[in-house]
Chains A and B, each alone.
Chain A
């Protein structure tokens, strides 16, 4: 049976049209865009087209606001480190507890260098408290960085409002939008967002290409210095094939934006309803009203995520877990913990993230596959007894070390 891919928040398949557009840039269009001869000039033109395509998807005012990078992580690092360099007297960063490691690990590292990092907490649906946020905005803050959509739950932050608030206080605002771009309509020129990161491989472009949007007149200090590429804001010969691919992917994302928010959303909702109707002691994580249309994060209590994934994989179904064991640490996902999801459920959380390539039939197959897998693992679990959890699971099974 054809395998089912529902892990699109991890990475997506390259669209065939993207691959096709890229191929000439590995062969006859090999020139360096900086060269004056015809080999280079044609590549230069293609880059300009791609830049325009990205600009259009983001609703940016100018194509010169688009800086191509190697990935989302590079964009994130560039944004934060640039702000710290540009405003050396400001030593504080505001971010959230549920960011991607691309932000959190960098911030931890910066703390060692004496920077102050405020991490906004979230409630049990993964929402921040805007009053807490407002109270932290002062002239010691160099930059605010908050993700537009959470990769594990799909929960959206009120990024446009947050950017307005930061702007009013004269503070730079960056958003890691790698999960949002291509899934939500974005119109940057009508926001106060100063910088935005996106990653090609999350929207059916290849891996190894990212973008940092930098609003015109934003004080900026490059991470990589060298040649004049990207107007001196990101040195290094352009990854022309991938840039062209990303341009096409942005075009396609714009064309499918409506389908993403209707068809894909309907499939996601059907998947959630179908599973929850058949599996008890399971619930959806995150803010169900305000989240990405493609993401379903479902917690299955009293079982562990890796076991679920291995059994799903055996049936050709690819999903992912926020659980610890797959990431090599013992603690469950920092996002689940931040939302106060009990350990018994956080460890059993599975993320299904759909794309426009998923079909009705696939959703049906996953709905059929999940309940027996959960039942099979619960049969092994000391927290489960026959038809339901043991009474007072935490007391009934209290292991010797905790």
Chain B
């Protein structure tokens, strides 16, 4: 079974604000019975102040869908519509101390229900072009549709391209076969830069050691190459300290406190190990105090 946080369990077992809401003046229905998720969000909005005075939900869905719905109603109650619309799906997930990557769509559904309910209150029609495919990359929660569209839109050719554009495949690498299948489906063939066949370097009996300066430069260069990927997700990383095999970095922006923090650090570590040709450990700056 899923590794749900205590908070998710608690909101599932004791959902807040469930059931119909009398006199609701904004209702949003989203989801799909096919996907096994469906959520109706009901708002009672004060027409003068546009403050959400009450919010209820009804959800057909798994444990985390119910917990996400419950969390959403708690988050938005008392907020003005404009403030409520600033709530992101990540905020919902964070409120629940994180969701498993496969279940992030539950928080996305919550955010969509909110948009739909506000649109309904304002007399607008909300439509969604969001399509979700099978989850391919579990490290970064990237689905097949997203990968396929990105490949098409950017004429991507290789596994490496896909990772650079979407992050998919940048973690544990177990999904590479699936990503290659998508590349073949889109491009009709696989442009191989497959497993890189590097010319065997002339083995020198003693490996040339990097000087401390060269080593840190190399670490900086590698981080520099990773940053654009993180910045696309409104995050960033900077180097704080190098202590032997321990490399301390600070994640900032959206990366900070993100539930994918561990996966992100893992990805960075992987790149650094490759670049340096030695085993190093990448740690968040917070870990420095412990040493």
Interface residues in chain A, defined as those with a beta carbon under 8 Å from any beta carbon in chain B: 302-307, 309-311, 313-314, 323-326, 328-332, 343-344, 347, 379-383, 394, 397-402
Stretch at the interface among B125-133, B216-224, B263-271: B125-133
Measured CA separation A94–B112 after assembly (Å): 44
Interface string of B118-144 (1 = CB under 8 A from A): 000000001110111011000000000
Q: Is the CB of B31 within 8 A of A399?
A: yes
Q: Is B59 in contact with A380, judged by CB distance below 8 angstroms? A: yes
Number of A-B pairs, beta carbon distance below 8 Å: 111
The answer on a CB contact under 8 Å between B63 and A307 is yes
- Selected A-B contacts with CB under 8 Å, 29 pairs: A304-B65, A307-B62, A310-B1, A310-B9, A310-B13, A311-B13, A324-B35, A325-B62, A326-B1, A329-B134, A330-B105, A330-B134, A332-B36, A343-B34, A379-B18, A380-B66, A382-B60, A383-B33, A397-B29, A397-B38, A399-B29, A400-B29, A400-B30, A400-B116, A401-B30, A401-B32, A401-B128, A402-B32, A402-B33
Closest to B138 in A: A328
Minimal Cβ-Cβ distance residue in A for B131: A401
Distance from B118 Cβ to chain A, minimum over Cβ atoms (Å):
13
The answer to whether the Cβ of B179 comes within 8 Å of any Cβ in the partner chain is: no
Bound-complex Cα distance A91 to B291 (A): 62
B235 within 8 A of A: no
A320 to chain B, nearest CB (A): 10
A400 touches B35 (CB 8 A): no
Closest to A325 in B: B62
A328-B135, A382-B29, A397-B29 known; A402 vs B63 contact (CB < 8 Å): no
B44 at the interface (CB under 8 A from A): no
In the complex, the chain A residue whose C-beta lies closest to that of B184 is A112
Q: Which positions 170-221 of chain B face chain A at CB distance < 8 Å?
A: none
A324–B105 Cα distance when bound, in Å, is: 13
Question: Once the chains bind, are B19 and A379 in contact (CB under 8 Å)?
Answer: yes
A-chain residues with CB within 8 Å of residue B127 when the two chains form the complex = 400
B39 at the interface (CB under 8 A from A): yes
Q: Can you add 18 more A-B contacts, CB < 8 Å, to A305-B62, A380-B57, A399-B39?
A: A304-B60, A307-B62, A309-B1, A310-B1, A310-B9, A310-B12, A310-B63, A325-B62, A330-B37, A330-B134, A331-B35, A380-B18, A380-B60, A382-B39, A382-B40, A382-B60, A399-B40, A400-B116
Q: Does B61 contact A (CB under 8 A)?
A: yes
B38 contacts A330, C-beta separation under 8 Å: no
Residue B78 at the chain A interface, CB threshold 8 Å: no
In whole angstroms, what is the CA distance A171 to B33 when docked?
42
B60 lies within 8 A of A330 (CB): no
Chain B minimum-CB-distance residue to A309: B1
Chain A residues lying within 8 Å of B61, measured Cβ to Cβ, are 304, 307, 325
Query: Could you tell me the dominant secondary structure of chain B's interface residues?
Result: mixed
Contact A307 B38 (CB under 8 A): no
Asked if B228 is at the interface of the complex by the 8 Å CB criterion, the answer is no
| Bound CA–CA A331/B105 (angstroms) | 13
Q: With A314-B13, A401-B128 in contact, is A307–B31 under 8 Å at CB?
A: no
Is B63 a contact of A401 with CB atoms below 8 Å?
A: no
A325 B32 Cβ-Cβ under 8 A: no
> Is the CB–CB distance between A307 and B12 below 8 Å?
yes
Query: Does B58 lie at the interface of the complex (its beta carbon under 8 Å from any beta carbon of A)?
Result: yes
A25–B32 CA distance with the chains assembled, in angstroms: 53
Which residue of chain A has its CB nearest to the CB of B106? A325
Indicate if the CB atoms of A383 and B38 lie closer than 8 Å: yes
Question: Counting chain A CB atoms within 10 Å of each CB, which of B31, B63, B103 scores highest?
Answer: B63
Which B1-24 residues sit within 8 Å CB-CB of chain A?
A: 1-2, 9, 12-13, 15, 18-19
- Is the Cβ of A399 less than 8 Å from the Cβ of B38? yes
Binding site for A on B (CB under 8 A): 1-2, 9, 12-13, 15, 18-19, 28-40, 57-63, 65-66, 102-103, 105, 112, 116, 126-128, 130-132, 134-135
* Given A329-B135, A332-B36, A400-B112, also A381-B31 (CB < 8 A): no
Q: Which residues of B contact A401 (CB under 8 A)?
A: 30-32, 112, 128, 130-131
Q: Tell whether, in the assembled complex, residue A381 and residue B30 are in contact, meaning their CB atoms are under 8 Å apart.
A: no
- Nearest-neighbour CB distance to chain B for A304, whole angstroms, equals 5
Q: Which residues of B contact A313 (CB under 8 A)?
A: 1
Query: Could you say which residues of chain B place their CB within 8 Å of the CB of A332?
Result: 36
User: Which residues from chain B contact A399 at a C-beta distance below 8 Å?
Assistant: 29-33, 38-40
Contact A324 B38 (CB under 8 A): no
Once the chains bind, are A303 and B60 in contact (CB under 8 Å)? yes
CB-CB nearest in chain A for B59? A380
**Cβ contact within 8 Å between A397 and B40:** yes
Q: Give the complex CA separation of A362 and B127 in angstroms.
A: 49
Distance, CA A323 to CA B19, complexed state (A):
24
A352-B26 Cα distance, complex, nearest whole Å: 41
Whether A400 contacts B128 in the complex (CB less than 8 A), given A325-B62, A329-B134, A383-B38, comes out as: yes
A332 vs B126: C-alpha distance when bound (angstroms): 27
A302 B34 Cβ-Cβ under 8 A = no
Q: Write out the residue numbers on chain B whose beta carbons fall within 8 Å of the beta carbon of A303.
A: 60
A323: contacting residue among B1, B36, B130, CB under 8 A: B36
User: How many angstroms from the CA of A310 to the CA of B30 in the assembled complex?
Assistant: 24
How far apart are the CA atoms of A311 and B14 in the complex, in Å? 11
* Residue in A303, A310, A379 whose Cβ sees the most chain B Cβ within 10 Å: A310
**Which of the residues B19, B31, B32, B102 comes within 8 Å of A328, measured between beta carbons?**
B102
B60 contacts A381, C-beta separation under 8 Å: yes
Q: Do A330 and B35 touch across chains, with their CB atoms under 8 A apart?
A: yes
CB distance from B107 to the nearest CB of A (A): 14
With both beta carbons as reference points, the residue of chain A lying nearest to B19 in the complex is identified as A379
A303-B60, A330-B132, A380-B59 known; A347-B30 Cβ under 8 A: no
Give CA–CA (A254, B121) in the complex, Å.
Answer: 67
Q: Which A residues are in CB contact (< 8 Å) with B29?
A: 382, 397-400
Residues of chain A with a CB closer than 8 A to B132's CB: 330
Q: Which 6 residue pairs across A and B have the least CB separation, nearest first?
A: A306-B62, A325-B62, A382-B58, A382-B40, A330-B35, A347-B36
Q: How far is the CA of A304 from the CA of B12 in the complex (A)?
A: 13
Q: Which of A304, A309, A397, A398 contacts B36 (CB 8 A)?
A: A304
Bound Cα distance from A400 to B28, whole angstroms: 8
Counting chain B CB atoms within 10 Å of each CB, the highest count among A310, A397, A400 belongs to A400
Which residues of A have CB within 8 Å of B18?
379-380
- In the bound complex, do residue B58 and residue A380 qualify as a contact, i.e. CB atoms below 8 Å apart? yes
